[in-house]
């Protein structure tokens, strides 16, 4: 029997899950070498993103237990043992990108972790933690590097003498460095940036008075901040905003003051206000139990459904439990 050409082997391997690839490293030395090759790792990632396959959700339970859930089969779960190792200590996810997670524990120690390969790297200390500390994690294709962004803001007596500072951690160099300060205001103790279009995003304020929130993005390549205009959807009347990313695009959930009317918008042409499209708009739909905070997570493989996480924050736990539901974008289809 003739040998399978190397190109054919690579084409087959790139379609497998990371879990299978780790097992197949034991088949032979050439296979192990091919699977560990940086070119193949990027090729496998590119194929997964292009075909919308090998996608998983990482869930946290009781602040220190982690689970991986297959997006194609929500019943398929796997327990993950995080590298901090300490039992029953709070662990928070600061961001995720291409299968890597940025984690922080209650001592403010930060780790970058690959749950599939179980490899991790601890970042050096980033400095003191202020009242407002924002994080974000993503990949910069220009420098071929993973970056963790940290913004802090502290106030003097009577909220005067505002001190702001922004730093970027590079996985490649394993160092923190300070970048240009930002010109907006943070309001919460800790917020996590949303990665979309090679940029990280947060809801912030232009002035010290917490009036209307605005969307700001941080370009991971140029390392510059910019404001993005929100859609004209009566935002001044909305009670709650949330930003997420789906399909590589930034999306916005606007829950109005009646707690029932919810719009989900997605920006199809990054940075262009007119490209905001209302993806979902519902008022007590039959397919989703009434909830003030549905969170869009991902598109289905063929793009005709959206996976939503429904959180019942103001309901008794004995009567309501959080759940995942698929929302059909074309119920007539």
Listed by start position, the domains of the chain span 1-54
- 319 φ, ψ (degrees, to nearest 5): -105, -25
Count Cβ atoms below 10 Å from residue 193 Cβ, excluding itself. 24
Task: Give me the pLDDT at residue 81, please.
Answer: 77
Tokens of 292: 């003030």
- Neighbour order of strands in the sheet with 323-328: 293-299, 305-311, 323-328
- 275 φ, ψ (degrees, to nearest 5): -90, 0
Q: What is the dihedral of CA 253, 254, 256, 260, to 10 degrees?
A: -20
Task: Give me the pLDDT at residue 286, please.
Answer: 47
**For residues 209 and 202, what is the distance between their CA atoms, to the nearest angstrom?**
17
Q: Which residue has the tokens 């959080």?
A: 322
CB 216 within 8 A of CB 227: yes
pLDDT (tens, 9 = 90+) of the chain, 333 residues, equals 457 777 888 888 888 777 788 788 888 888 888 888 878 888 877 777 777 777 777 777 666 677 777 776 666 677 777 778 766 678 888 999 988 999 988 888 899 988 888 888 999 888 777 668 899 999 999 999 999 999 988 766 555 667 788 999 999 999 999 998 888 888 777 789 999 999 999 988 888 776 778 899 999 999 999 999 988 765 555 567 788 998 889 998 887 765 567 788 999 999 999 999 988 877 654 445 544 467 788 887 777 888 887 766 554 444 556 677 788 887 665
- 153 φ, ψ (degrees, to nearest 5): -150, 130
Q: How far is CA 272 from CA 59, 239, 267, 268, 330, in A?
A: 33, 24, 8, 8, 26
Task: Give me the pLDDT at residue 161, please.
Answer: 64
The whole-angstrom distance between residue 144's C-alpha and the CA centroid of its chain comes to 19
Residue 260, classified by CB atoms within 10 Å of its CB into exposed (0-12), middle (13-18) or buried (19+), is: middle
Task: Give me the pLDDT at residue 29, please.
Answer: 84
Q: Residue 302 has what DSSP assignment?
A: T
């Amino acid at each position: 029997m003739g040998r399978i050409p190397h190109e054919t082997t690579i084409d087959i391997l790139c379609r497998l899950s990371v879990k299978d690839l780790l097992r197949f490293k034991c088949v032979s030395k050439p296979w192990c070498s091919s699977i560990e090759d940086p070119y193949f790792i990027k090729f496998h990632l590119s194929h997964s993103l292009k075909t919308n396959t090998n996608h998983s959700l990482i869930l946290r339970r009781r602040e220190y237990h982690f689970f991986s859930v297959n997006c194609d089969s929500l019943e398929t779960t796997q327990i993950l043992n995080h590298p901090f190792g300490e039992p029953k200590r709070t662990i928070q996810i600061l961001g995720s990108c291409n299968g890597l997670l940025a984690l922080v524990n209650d001592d403010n120690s930060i780790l970058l972790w690959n749950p599939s390969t179980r490899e991790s790297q601890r970042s050096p200390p980033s400095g003191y933690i202020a009242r407002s500390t924002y994080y974000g994690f993503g990949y910069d294709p220009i420098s071929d590097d993973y970056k963790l962004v940290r913004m802090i803001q502290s106030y003097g007596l009577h909220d005067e003498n505002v001190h702001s500072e922004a730093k970027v951690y590079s996985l490649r160099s394993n160092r923190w460095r300070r970048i240009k300060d930002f010109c907006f205001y943070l309001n919460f103790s800790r917020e996590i940036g949303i990665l979309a279009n090679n940029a990280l995003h947060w809801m912030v304020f232009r002035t010290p008075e917490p009036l209307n929130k605005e969307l700001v993005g941080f370009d991971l390549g140029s390392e510059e901040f910019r404001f993005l205009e929100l859609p004209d959807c009566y935002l001044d009347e909305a009670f709650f905003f949330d930003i997420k990313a789906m399909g590589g695009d930034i999306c916005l959930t606007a829950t109005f003051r009646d707690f029932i009317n919810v719009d989900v918008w997605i920006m199809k042409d990054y940075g262009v206000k007119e490209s905001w499209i209302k993806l979902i708009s519902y008022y007590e739909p039959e397919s989703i139990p009434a909830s003030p905070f549905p969170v869009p997570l991902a598109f289905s493989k063929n793009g005709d459904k959206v996976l939503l996480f429904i959180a019942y924050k103001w309901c008794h736990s004995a009567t309501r439990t959080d759940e995942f539901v698929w929302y059909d974008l074309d119920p007539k289809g």
